[in-house]
C-alpha cells in the first residue's frame, strides 16, 4: 500500500443540501482509505477545525465531510487528503502477466504436501498431508532445455513445469504456498516435483519459478 496525496478543489455547490444550510456533506472521489493524518479542510481560505467545524467519515471510497456551520454555494472549498492505494510495480505487473499465461494455457490441479514427524532418533512416526489447489503449466522437455539435459533429468516420464512464485490463499483454499521439491501434483496423472530449476527474477524479486516433475505411480 502507498500513501498518496490528493487535493479536492470545488465550491459549496459540490456539497449536499441548499446554499447557507448547516450540516452539508461533501463526498470525496477517493478510491483508497483516507487518513486523518495530514488532512486539511479549507473554506474561503480559512482552515476548519475538526469536530467543532467539520466531521469526517474515513472510508475506502467516497469519504464524507460534514460542514457543521452554514455553507454557501459560492464558498471555495479545498481539501488536502491522503489515501492508501495499491500501486502496481513493474514486478507485480510481470507477475500478473506470467500468471495469466499459466491460467490461460495451463491447468488447475491438486498439490499434496507430506510432512513427516520423527522421534528422538530420527525414525518416522507419522506422515501428515495437506492439499492445495494450484495452477501449473506443464511442457515437454526439449533439446533447448540445456540445463535439464546437463542435470541428467531429461528422461522418460519427466516434464518441465512453470509455477507462480507464490499461490495466495484465495487460490489454494488452504493458505499461502510456494512449491518445493517433494510436493506431489495430481491432474489424473500423479507427478512429483523432483527439483527446482531456479527462480526467474526481476529487480531482485521472484517473478515465477520452474521445476522438473516426474510422473509417478502412487500405487
CB 71 within 8 A of CB 24: yes
CATH, range 90-216:
2.40.10
Mean pLDDT, to the nearest integer, of 181-196?
A: 93
Per-residue model confidence as pLDDT tens digits over 161-170: 999 999 999 9
Q: How confident is the model at residue 84 (pLDDT cuts 50, 70, 90)?
A: confident
199, pLDDT greater than 90: no
Q: In what order do the strands lie in the sheet with 64-67?
A: 24-27, 64-67, 54-57
Residue located via cell numbers 467516497: 62
CA–CA separation, 148 vs 154, rounded Å? Answer: 6
CA 37 vs CA 45, 78, 123, 147: distances in Å: 20, 16, 57, 53
Per-residue model confidence as pLDDT tens digits over 103-145: 999 999 999 998 878 777 778 777 889 999 999 999 999 999 9
Residue 1's pLDDT is what? 63
Per-residue model confidence as pLDDT tens digits over 28-83: 999 889 999 999 999 999 999 999 999 999 998 999 999 999 999 999 999 999 99
89, pLDDT greater than 80: no
pTM of the model: 0.59
Amino acid at each position: 500500500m502507498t500513501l498518496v496525496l490528493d487535493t479536492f478543489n470545488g465550491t459549496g455547490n459540490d456539497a449536499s443540501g441548499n446554499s447557507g444550510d448547516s450540516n452539508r456533506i461533501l463526498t470525496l472521489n477517493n478510491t483508497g482509505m483516507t487518513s486523518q493524518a495530514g488532512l486539511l479542510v479549507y473554506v474561503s481560505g480559512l482552515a476548519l477545525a475538526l469536530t467543532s467545524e467539520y466531521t469526517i467519515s474515513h472510508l475506502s471510497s467516497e469519504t464524507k465531510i460534514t460542514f457543521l456551520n452554514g455553507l454557501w454555494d459560492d464558498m471555495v472549498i479545498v481539501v488536502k487528503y491522503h489515501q492508501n492505494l495499491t500501486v502496481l510495480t513493474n514486478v507485480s505487473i510481470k507477475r500478473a502477466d506470467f500468471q495469466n499465461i499459466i491460467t490461460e494455457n495451463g491447468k488447475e490441479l491438486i498439490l499434496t504436501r507430506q510432512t513427516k514427524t520423527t522421534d528422538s532418533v530420527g525414525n518416522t512416526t507419522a506422515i501428515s498431508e495437506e492439499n492445495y489447489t494450484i495452477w501449473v503449466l506443464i511442457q515437454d522437455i526439449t533439446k533447448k532445455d540445456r540445463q535439464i539435459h546437463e542435470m541428467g533429468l531429461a528422461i522418460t516420464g519427466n516434464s518441465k513445469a512453470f509455477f507462480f512464485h507464490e499461490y495466495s490463499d484465495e487460490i489454494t483454499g488452504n493458505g499461502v504456498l510456494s512449491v518445493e521439491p517433494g510436493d506431489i501434483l495430481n491432474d489424473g496423472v500423479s507427478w512429483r516435483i523432483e527439483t527446482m530449476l531456479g527462480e526467474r527474477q526481476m529487480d531482485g524479486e521472484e517473478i515465477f519459478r520452474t521445476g522438473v516433475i516426474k510422473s509417478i505411480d502412487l500405487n
